[in-house]
Amino acid sequence: MADWYKLARNVLRAELVRQGVSYRELAELLTQLGVVETERSVASKMSRGSFSFAFYLQVMKALGRPTAHIDLTDIAN
35-73 pLDDT per residue, tens: 999 999 999 999 988 899 999 999 999 999 988 888 888
Of 14, 12, 25, the closest CA to residue 55 belongs to 12
Question: Residue 51: which domain range?
Answer: 4-62
Domain membership flag for residue 29:
yes
Considering just the CA atoms, what is the radius of gyration of the chain in Å?
A: 12
**pLDDT at residue number 32:** 96
Domain membership flag for residue 68:
no
Q: Total domain count for the chain?
A: 1
Domain membership flag for residue 70:
no
12-24 pLDDT per residue, tens: 999 999 999 999 9
Of 16, 9, 11, the closest CA to residue 49 belongs to 9
pTM score of the predicted model: 0.86
